[in-house]
Amino acid sequence: MDKLSLFARPTQMGKSTLFSLAEKVYSKTETASDAAKIIPENRRNAGYVLRFNFLEVTCAMTPSTWQENLRRIDLALLGYIKSTVSRYTRFYHQELEPFFTEPDAAERAQAEDYLQCLANAIADYSRSNRTSEFFSQA
């Protein structure tokens, strides 16, 4: 769980249930129950969990080429991820904000660049505060 992961499955296949459970066990903002004893104590509620709801990404299709429609979807996705990461660092985990820097060439940045910058901020924060031993090894 110390790496960025993306889980994509068809609808109604348990993604939300899986991540609700993972968030309860791993997220700093939650408290794991006694049932989580199989997870080492230093990893329980010691991580950052960011969930995306890609159903919120909307984009109007136009009668243009499929490449132009894909670019519109890409831009909508980038905007969604950028705003979600920004909200995450500004409101939910303010301790990360000083460590988060926007990707270079923000006008050409991609969604993965924002996620990588967030991962770097978490690793830098963890190293500087020695909050997690598995980040200090990264």
Provide the terminal-to-terminal Cα distance of the chain, rounded to the nearest Å: 12
DSSP state of 47: B
The Cα–Cα gap between 83 and 114 comes to 10
Q: Which residue has the higher pLDDT, 101 or 129?
A: 101
Show me where the domains of the chain are located.
15-136
Tens of pLDDT along 62-113?
A: 788 888 888 888 899 999 999 999 999 999 999 999 999 999 876 688 888 9
The pLDDT value given to residue 48:
84
Distance, CA of 119 to CA of 117 (rounded, Å): 5
Predicted pLDDT at 81: 93
pLDDT in tens, 21-48: 888 888 888 888 877 778 888 888 888 8
